[in-house]
Amino acid sequence: MIIGVTGTRLRRFEYGGWIAVALSGAAMVVGVLIAFGEAMSPGNYTNVQITWFHVAGAPGTFPNGFTLVMGTLVDPISSLMLVVVTVVGFVVMLYSIGYMHHDKGLPRYYAELSLFLAAMNGLVISNNLIEFFLFWELVGLCSYFLIGFYYEKPSAASAAKEAFLVTRIGDIMFLLGIFLYFSHYATAGPNGGWAANGFVFVHGTTPFLAPSIRGSSTLITVAGIMILGGAAGKSAQFPLHVWLPDAMEGPTTVSALIHAATMVAAGVYLLAVASLFLGFTSFDSLVIVAIGGFTAFFAATMAVVHPDIKRVIAYSTISQLGYMVLAIGAGFAMVGLYHLFTHAFFKALLFLAAGSVIHALGTQDLFKMGGLKKPMKLTAAAFAIGGLALAGIPPFAGFWSKDDVLSSVYSQLGAHPAYWPFFVMAFAAVFLTAYYIFRAWFLAFSGDRIRDPTLPAAHEGPWVMQVPLVILSAFAVGAGLFVFLPGFQGLLLGGAGVAGIPPAYGTADVFLSAVSVLLAAGGIGLAALLWGNGRVFSLADSSVAQPLRRLLLHRYYFKVGYDWIGAKGVYTVSRAADFFDRYVIDGTVHGLERMFGAMSDRLRRMQSGLVSDYAAYIVAGLLGLFAILLVVAPFLIARFGGS
């Protein structure tokens, strides 16, 4: 608010940038202190709430009434998210000082980015679904502002609208899910409802809803699907994935924040919260596993051919979110959040390293780059570290969390054979992930010279851009090792006091890890063979693989299909609705209006003001009445006279 109100008066503070850095740094300190304090211990939580309003009970329906509360719930999983949001938010804010230095509209940028972080922090510590939804919508609004930051560009304005509209589909489903869950637990919960604590996640004296009262009705199944829809919209899961690659029209710093710590993380967090606090039925779990496993593979296939460095990383985000959704669907919400935790750091690192390249060269086209490892040693090393973590190469962070996801899902295949196809898809995505991220690295950094000599001379950014790369590189290497910290290990392995404990590592898990690492190494090797040392692999026009390449470049034509549905289907329905509104509803109203207007006009003309005219009307009326009596009276006498 300070930045937005004072605006250009903050010039000496880089239009509010350093104020935003200071405040986000303070939030980071508080968030980390909370996370590694008592809140990180399994079973510990603090719930502070106030009553917003109370509705008195009705016999037989809500005997205890309904209380809507607003408050703060700090528990192990919200603590984990506080670390992600505040740490990544701080380094992105610091990086912005250098990256956004020459942009206009900096007060607007820093005000919106600060509001974005505040909304996400509010979301993760909300203690009820209504409050959660309010912050959820604020996160969506801020993403609209920031994706369309360069609103003078038609493509940026269009991308912002696309993100806003596509995620609205999920938001409507989420809201319906809230209503359905409430209608179930308000009548099926203990003591006849949720009157004691209101519609909150905390139920009774425990921070998690006991499995014995979760229920498995059709209503709960539908509610779970609605929650999945909300998560799929925010986290860009199939089929609501189309907005995220286009969101790259915003500043790279915004992309880093959206992909690592805010908007897309909100969807996965919602699924995890719903799994832990409310529960999913077996059908819901299968659908969630299917969406996650398919999306992990589906998005990875599109990343292998794209020429835009930011969009490659964007498809990577969609794919990695699929892994998280897969783990949550299989019943391991904490494992999914563990991968979200590690992913936040190496994905922010990849985006900020890509931003460093874009800042230096002014292009996002990988095929115009090359040879950048010499003039940009730090950026090249940072991107490589992020790539190794993303590929799941030990001991980098992604190895620990990704293998936990695969091992956890594998442990459920015996009990749920229907999970097999989606597990195989997620496993195949390991190879594709390593290939596409190192294809991008080799295209951008390998070789002796840049491919487009018209681009500016490559150079590293200022220190405010280099320090975040170093910080995030350290997390990309070591964040996975947090699992060996006593408090963190208790959080993950204890599942925060609920079901979803990862299986103990055995021979099968070691074998899975070995195969996963070999697949990743194979992907890196193939990328080096085709693109290493400045080489550019070119697929012949006559190749049988060209149709597949075009299919991937056009994103399986989903965006074209959605545009067609919008232009033909929605627009046709809208025109029909407009016709009905204009000519049936409005036509009827206006027709009656004109009819009574015409009648009034004729009656008005009869008011001449002449006494003789009024006397004539009276005489005519009496004569008319007399004539009616002469005709009707004999008929009535003949018809009823004898009775």
34 or 194, higher pLDDT? 34
Residue with tokens 């959080």: 491
Contacts of 203 (CB under 8 A, 6+ apart): 189, 194, 197, 209, 210, 213, 277
- Is pLDDT above 60 for 422? yes
| Cα separation, 436 vs 307, whole angstroms | 11
Nearest to 143, CA basis, from 153, 156, 130: 156
Chain Cα centroid distance, residue 11 = 34
Output 502 or 407, whichever has higher pLDDT: 407
- Look at the alpha carbons of 414, 416, 418, 422 in this order and tell me if their dihedral is positive or negative: negative
CA distance 165 to 159: 10
The CA distance from 312 to 306, in Å, is 6
Taking alpha carbons only, the member of 357, 337, 346, 445 closest to residue 388 is 346
The overall average pLDDT reported for the chain is: 84
Q: Could you report the per-residue pLDDT of 514-557, keeping only the tens digit for each? A: 999 999 999 999 999 999 888 888 878 778 888 898 999 888 98
Whether the pLDDT of residue 196 is over 60: the answer is no
Tokens of 137: 């919508």
User: Which pair of structure tokens corresponds to residue 484?
Assistant: 């060996």
Q: For residues 349-364, give the mean pLDDT.
A: 94
* pLDDT the model gives residue 36: 74
* pLDDT given for residue 428 in this prediction: 95
Q: What is the pLDDT of residue 491?
A: 57
**93, β-bridge pairs:** none
- The least confident of 369-373, 482-486, 552-556 is 482-486
Q: What's the average model confidence in pLDDT over 224-240?
A: 93
Radius of gyration of the chain (CA): 32
Query: Under a CB-based contact definition with an 8 Å cutoff, are residues 41 and 77 in contact?
Result: no
Model confidence, pTM: 0.86
The tokens of 429 are what? 């995505």
pLDDT at site 365: 93
Q: Rounded to an integer, what distance in angstroms lies between the CA atom of residue 512 and that of residue 504?
A: 13
Confidence of residue 294 (pLDDT cuts 50, 70, 90): very high
Residue 144, CA distances (Å) to 65, 150, 244, 274, 373 in order: 38, 11, 12, 26, 35
CB 307 within 8 A of CB 366: yes
What gap in Å lies between CA 418 and CA 289, rounded to an integer? 9
Averaged pLDDT, 330-335 = 88
The count of residues in the chain is 643
Which residues, other chains included, contact 78 with Cβ-Cβ below 8 Å and sequence gap of 6+? Answer: 39, 124, 125
User: 126 has which bridge partners?
Assistant: 72
Q: Which band of pLDDT confidence, cut at 50, 70 and 90, is reported for residue 209?
A: very low
DSSP 48: E
Tokens at residue 582, please?
């204009």
pLDDT at position 158 over 70: yes
Q: Contact, 120 vs 85, CB < 8 A? A: yes
Instruction: State the Cα–Cα distance between residues 146 and 492, nearest whole angstrom.
Output: 34
Sorted by sequence, the CB contacts under 8 Å of residue 345 that are 6+ apart come out as 87, 88, 260, 389, 397, 472, 475, 476, 479
Helix axes 377-391, 463-478, angle to 10 degrees: 30
- Cα dist from 513 to 109, 332, 398, 480, 523, whole Å: 43, 18, 12, 15, 15
Cβ-based burial of 499 (10 A; exposed 0-12, middle 13-18, buried ≥19): middle
In the prediction, which pLDDT does 40 show? 56
Q: What is the DSSP string of 169-205?
A: HHHHHHHHHHHHHHHHHHHHSGGGSSTTT-S-S-BTT
What's the whole-number mean pLDDT along residues 615-622?
86
% of the chain exceeding 70 in pLDDT: 85
**How far is it between the farthest Cα atoms of the chain?**
121
Q: Is the pLDDT of residue 257 over 70?
A: yes
d(CA 72, CA 466): 36
Angstrom distance (rounded) from CA 182 to CA 185: 5
pLDDT of residue 586: 87
- Least Cα distance to 272 among 484, 492, 85, 421 occurs for 492
Which tens digit of pLDDT belongs to each residue from 57-115?
A: 665 555 566 667 778 888 778 888 999 999 999 999 999 999 988 887 888 899 899 99
Write a three-state SS string for 156-176: HHHHHHHHHHHHHHHHHHHHH
Nearest to 7 by CA among 140, 142, 104: 104
Average pLDDT of the segment spanning 203-224:
59
pLDDT of residue 311: 94
Does residue 569 have a pLDDT over 60?
yes
- Over range 136-146, report the average pLDDT: 94
240 or 204: which carries more pLDDT confidence? Answer: 240
> Residue 126: helix, strand or coil by DSSP?
strand
- Residue 215 pLDDT > 60: no
Range 322-341 average pLDDT: 92
Predicted local distance difference test score (pLDDT) of residue 12: 53
Q: Which of 5-14, 379-388, 572-581, 605-614 has the lowest mean pLDDT?
A: 5-14
Cβ count near 553 (within 10 Å): 12
Q: How far apart are CA 93 and CA 261, in angstroms?
A: 12
Pick from 409, 415, 252, 441: which is nearest to 339 by CA?
Answer: 409
Determine the average pLDDT of the residues in 9-26. 76
Assess contact for 288 and 329: CB atoms under 8 A.
yes
Q: Are 301 and 225 in contact (CB under 8 A)?
A: no
Residue 542: the pLDDT is 79
Residue 118 has pLDDT above 60, yes or no: yes
Q: Average of pLDDT values for 566-593?
A: 85
Of the chain, the percentage scoring pLDDT greater than 90 comes to: 47
User: 530, 520, 362: which is closest to 446 by C-alpha?
Assistant: 530
In this prediction, residue 306 carries a pLDDT of 92
Residue 189 pLDDT grade (very low, low, confident, very high; cuts 50, 70, 90): very low
Contacts of 191 (CB under 8 A, 6+ apart): 63, 64
Give tens-digit pLDDT for 162-182. Answer: 999 999 999 999 999 988 887
55 phi and psi, to 5 degrees? -110, 130
73: which DSSP letter?
E
Mean pLDDT of the region 23-28: 92
Angstrom distances, CA of residue 28 to CA of 1, 25, 91, 349: 19, 5, 10, 18
List phi, psi (to 5°) of 50: -130, 155
Tell me: pLDDT of 509 over 70. yes
User: Poorest-confidence range of 117-121, 433-437, 612-616?
Assistant: 612-616
